[in-house]
Amino acid sequence: MSRTKSIQQVLAPPPPHMVGDGFRVHNFFPNGYQMGMLRMSPFFLLDYGSKIEFPPSDKPRGVGVHPHRGFETVTIAFKGKVAHHDSTGNSGIIGEGDVQWMTAGSGILHKEYHEEEYSKKGGPFQMIQLWVNLPAKDKMTPPKYQAIENSQMGKYQLPNDGGVLEVIAGEFNGVKGPATTFTPIHAYVGRLKPGAALNMSLPEHFNTGILVVEGSLRINDDEDVATDHFVVFQNDGTEVQVETDSGGIFLLLSGEPINENLVPYGPFLMNSRQEIMQAFEDLNAGKFGVLED
């Protein structure tokens, strides 16, 4: 018999800080709220760039060249456009509704910045970046890049023209997402019209959370959750219900925990201190490739 996943916490957005000069973010975890390093595993970091207006600029704002090893970065665009370049030769631009899924794996250099035309015009900007941990056996996998346009996503149309659930990874009611993952993950963006309701079934042991990106939601017919708030669920059931009177957009994350020792240090996410030291050695030896700033 299915049971509802209980709400553990509703988290208000932590005070924002700048990443580079182009990304103003609220870090919900691991630093914004001390939920335990593995509480949302396999998701290690959630930086949420709530909606902000950037003025026009001739020089694109962003983050210069920096390294990563041992995990994946996932950028989800809601407003504005972001350009990406990395040391394997991959590059791309994502706009509203698109996703960039980069596997750093054994080591990569990359940079992200506001797309040139967006920079010149300015305007609203709203993004999410996740760090998704890799299991020990896959931490040294070759780097790769998945550019996922909104048109490529699996889309489940809600009954009675209630909106759409976009499936980035995993599946929902037989609708599959295009992202390939190393561990089981469900990542959905729900775009609900006023009066819509949706029930989602997720494995009981998966760590699950919902970020309200726009509007407000009532969750499990019990908790009203406002814009820019994050909901953490207990691992005690399978059912999550969302509904909205006014309409709303949300991101649902649900994944099988990686129950391994974890040692994060700066831009690296490894399983031991020795592996962190090796990452710095390899970076200094030029093994992450070359990328111009």
Q: Residues 148, 43, 234, 183: is their CA dihedral positive or negative?
A: positive
The chain-wide mean pLDDT, for the chain, equals: 96
CB 230 within 8 A of CB 11: yes
Residue 293 has pLDDT above 90, yes or no: no
Question: Mind listing the domains of the chain with CATH numbers?
Answer: 7-255 (2.60.120.10)
pLDDT-derived band at 38 (thresholds 50, 70, 90) equals confident
Q: For the purposes of burial, counting CB atoms within 10 Å of the CB of 192, is it exposed (0-12), middle (13-18) or buried (19 or more)?
A: buried
Work out whether strand 239-243 and strand 217-219 pair parallel, antiparallel, or are unpaired: antiparallel
Q: For the purposes of burial, counting CB atoms within 10 Å of the CB of 34, is it exposed (0-12), middle (13-18) or buried (19 or more)?
A: exposed
Q: Give per-residue pLDDT as tens, 66-119.
A: 999 999 999 999 999 999 999 999 999 999 999 999 999 999 999 999 999 999
pLDDT-derived band at 199 (thresholds 50, 70, 90) equals very high
Cβ-proximal residues to 34 (8 Å cutoff; 6+ apart), any chain:
none
Q: Give per-residue pLDDT as tens, 164-196.
A: 999 999 999 999 999 999 999 999 999 999 999
The Cα angle at residue 224 between residues 222 and 227, in degrees rounded to 5: 155
Q: Give per-residue pLDDT as tens, 253-289.
A: 999 999 999 999 999 999 999 999 999 999 999 999 9
CB 257 within 8 A of CB 38: yes
Q: Give per-residue pLDDT as tens, 110-164.
A: 999 999 999 999 999 999 999 999 999 999 999 999 999 999 999 999 999 999 9
pLDDT-derived band at 10 (thresholds 50, 70, 90) equals very high
